[in-house]
Structure 1
């Protein structure tokens, strides 16, 4: 019996134009506050973190990609549609097919970015294969300010428990951070408290799906996989990362009440229970997104 190989999905102009517009509208809603602050030259330590940490511009989120295996047809296109289609054909890692449609040039994308994409997919697969470990309590943020002079702190916010109280939390709770990109910001004095010593090389061995930062990094994965990553998946990953960042700061040693946020007091039993419940919820939200990102990578033949 012969195997039937499905061809690309073809979207006529009315459909891809509507998807593009809907994506742009959703992205602009998600970035409206950030863009408004930018226009005033203001910064927000919680809401602007994703743009700073991932070197992300709001305009990049607004650019819609259909993903691989989708062709944007000129059939039924208005002159404005055709102009946008021609512009898209000139984007990096896009190509025009013989019938005038435009699609992601998956082969060129892999040829240019293959090693980085393979490394990313290795981490995503390994993380997805493990159970979620909960209860780290966000102590990575506390370890980042342990015995740190005030002038060296990343955020211009007071410590909720003061310096001595903050240090006491680090010293009296088990620190079990598995995420290298959090661990690397620990102060030198805090590093020995961590039960693990993550490195970039051990990332695929240690990353686990309960980690807030591993789930926040699904945004980085979606950006790395663009334009192969569909636009809706990118914005879903952004929304997840944004919501995780709020918990990350609420459970941090900083006093976030001036920002209109209620602290999660992880040094108390109630606070620990609140944190673990939220962490479990984020792990559940992240799971299907991580699986879709793996599918994107495997669709590229990685």
Structure 2
């Protein structure tokens, strides 16, 4: 255990962390291998590719394993210069300068944590606010339908509409739109915006998001990679896997015909389809609730570490 900027750091020997990092890469390769193969061939996939094209965190970034804040890596020259890392020091001397200490020890930088404070505080507040609310399970995935309502400007031009243009519009007009997630709502067509139960704005995000929302739960992955390398890659990959599962339900319940990709539709235009959607949505919400609890625990620890580092450096503001 080593002290650095008021934080006690646990050092992992190279033999241990390299094995964990290799297991992480193997797990990720199982998840994204098909995506990389398609990309190399110049083709795309309307369901799976979303996790990379929308969120923007590249597979190569996901492949780099991070232990999270408070854990240092011995003999880790490959992390030298990586964003958010620094060499561990004791009394102003590099740990690697001692013959009895592990060489080239790097860990997440308290200075980087301080720079990410506003982002960390926002994420913490959003996750806590979302977790405090009851689940709403009555949207039936209609956000994807609202994005193509009364328009020929369809996002997935390569996919036919399962019910056709007229049938798709009729589904939207037969049910209430109850979207609570601004980043889905902002893609609604102008004709669909006014049909939502309430108008949504970015400024209202903190008081609108709720734990039943498919997209709010997918966004756990987005919030996770905004905090890399301060959170562990294990948590980030757990969130990524959950986001992939949510995306599959999202598109199976959409107006698009995905049969040529092997997906059976969730026919939310029928009572049985809506019941199926709610069951799947609830299962994903259970999974997301556990991840959100874990994520919040990590955020609270990071906030406490930042406060301790500020006190230790004489900054109490």
TM-score, L = length of structure 1: 0.91
CA distance in 2, matches of 1:54, 1:212: 15
Unaligned runs of 5+ in 1: 74-81
Counterpart check, 1:270 vs 2:261? no
Distance 2:298 2:59 in 1: 23
CA–CA separation in structure 2 for the residues paired with 1:194 and 1:47: 28
1:121-176 residue CA offsets vs partner (Å, 9 max, x unmatched): 21111111112111210000000000011xx1110211111111111111110110
Which segment is superposed worse, 156-165 or 290-299? Answer: 290-299
CA contact (8 A) 1:117 1:297 kept: yes
Structure 1 moving runs of 4+ over 4 Å: none
The residue that corresponds to 2:255 in the other structure is 253
Structure 2 Cα separation of the partners of residues 113 and 69 of structure 1: 16
For the 8 Å contact 2:120–2:299, the answer to whether it is kept is yes
Are 1:90 and 2:81 counterparts? yes
Counterpart Cα distance in 2 of 1:173 and 1:281: 23
- Tell me how far 1:54 sits from its aligned partner: 0.6
* Distance in 2 separating the partners of 1:142 and 1:70: 45
Q: Does 1:103 align with 2:104?
A: no
SS in 2 for 1:178: coil
TM-score by length of 2: 0.87
Show the counterpart of 1:122: 125
Q: Could you give the per-residue CA deviations for residues 65-119 of structure 1, whole angstroms, max 9, x where no partner exists? A: 000111223xxxxxxxx3xx112132111111132322111x2123322222222
- Alignment size in residue pairs: 285
8 Å Cα contact 1:228/1:296 also seen in 2: no
> CA offsets, 1:16-54, max 9 Å, x none?
111111111111221100100011000111110111001
Deviates more, 1:159-168 or 1:289-298: 289-298
Instruction: Give 1:182-261 correspondences, 5 Å limit.
Output: 182-261=184-263
Contact 1:127–1:207 (8 Å) recurs in 2:
yes
- Structure 2 counterpart SS, 1:244: helix
From 122, 131, 135, the counterpart of 1:132: 135
Q: Which residue of 2 aligns with 1:145?
A: 148
Residue aligned with 2:202, SS = coil
SS of residue matched to 1:7: strand
Please provide the CA RMSD for this pair.
1.4
